[in-house]
Amino acid sequence: MPRVLITTDYLRPGDEVDDYLRAAGLETRHVPMVGQRDPEDLVAALDGIDAALVANEPLTAGVLARAPRLRVVVRTGVGYDSIDIEAARRLGVGVSNLPGINANAVAEYTLGLLLASARRLVHSATGVLAGGWPREDGHELRGATLGLVGFGAAARAVVPLARAFGMDVVCSTGVPEGLRGDLAVRFVSFAELLAVSDYVSIHTALTDSTRGMFDAATFARMKETAVLINTARGRVVDERALADAVRTGGIAGAALDVVTREPLPADSPLRGVDGITVYSHLAGQTAQARRAAGLAGAAELVAALEGRARFTVN
């Protein structure tokens, strides 16, 4: 009986995903990932495992090499930068993701971060909690320009929501012109996006070319009143450069759902910077998105074990 490791923290023994996998003739082992995990613990969890349904596990070449039975890895999400794709390919391990599975959840959350930033909601709530009654002005989204960096499923889902608030939307993307198909968006260069946007929202994958793309030089090209929103990957942003830019007034602030190290370490340069708010990687975490991702991930895992993977990335 093939054995499946499940590390996604919201999946539990006896839930419908577990029932689905067991009905398919698989034996399941749940070792949920919460925060950082020692590589040796991950190696131990993968012992005797044929397939894995994973969160953001650091499946490095070294870890994969010590899991000789592993044939299939399925991410219960879109990003797969935590997996060494090339090493997996060399070792004969198929890797799949679930493109677009949580796009609506991420899009709604992005608008939530925009509203919270524009209306200073966190500042107000924490001020009241501390015994104050903050009454500073906020800003309306209507008439503001939103710059989308990337144009995948989540970014595309943001567009009608932003337009409903009366925002103008520009986008910088590598998606070929013939595949864009959205007349509500003006496609511009990255340089122009930085220059005209009141809010810059990151929706690009983490690659060698996007790692650290938001650095000191990038922030210097943004409006001093601009706010950065990141629901993509923490490593797209140089966190020390961001902290410096906000602290010195280079940009107005940032709302970050993702950071380089999660949970946010005590010595992070992002801590204690007025204008930067860090959230706990919640963009795709709705009940609906979790259920859809769990079931779709289980279906992809079973299909991949049978040699008919639909969303392989390697």
Q: Helix, strand, or coil here: 303?
A: helix
Q: Helix, strand, or coil here: 85?
A: helix
CA angle (108, 264, 151) in 5-degree steps: 35
Place of tokens 């998105």: 289
How many residues in total does the chain contain? 314
- Which residues, in sequence order, are CB contacts of 203 under 8 Å at separation 6+? 106, 148, 149, 150, 151, 152, 154, 155, 158, 231, 232
Per the CB < 8 A criterion, the answer to whether 214 and 242 are in contact is: yes
The active-site residue out of 120, 233, 239, 300 is 233
Tokens standing for residue 171: 């986008």
Is 262 catalytic? The answer is yes
The active-site residue out of 22, 37, 281, 291 is 281
Q: Name which of 76, 102, 97 is nearest 284 in CA terms.
A: 102
Tokens standing for residue 17: 């995903």
- Within 13 A of 278's CA, how many CA atoms are on the CB side? 21
The active-site residue out of 108, 192, 262, 291 is 262
Work out the number of other CB atoms within 10 angstroms of the CB of residue 308.
9
- Within 13 A of 165's CA, how many CA atoms are on the CB side? 21
Is 281 catalytic? The answer is yes
Tokens standing for residue 308: 């008919």
Is 27 catalytic? The answer is no
Q: Helix, strand, or coil here: 50?
A: coil
Which residues does the annotation mark as catalytic? Answer: 233, 262, 281
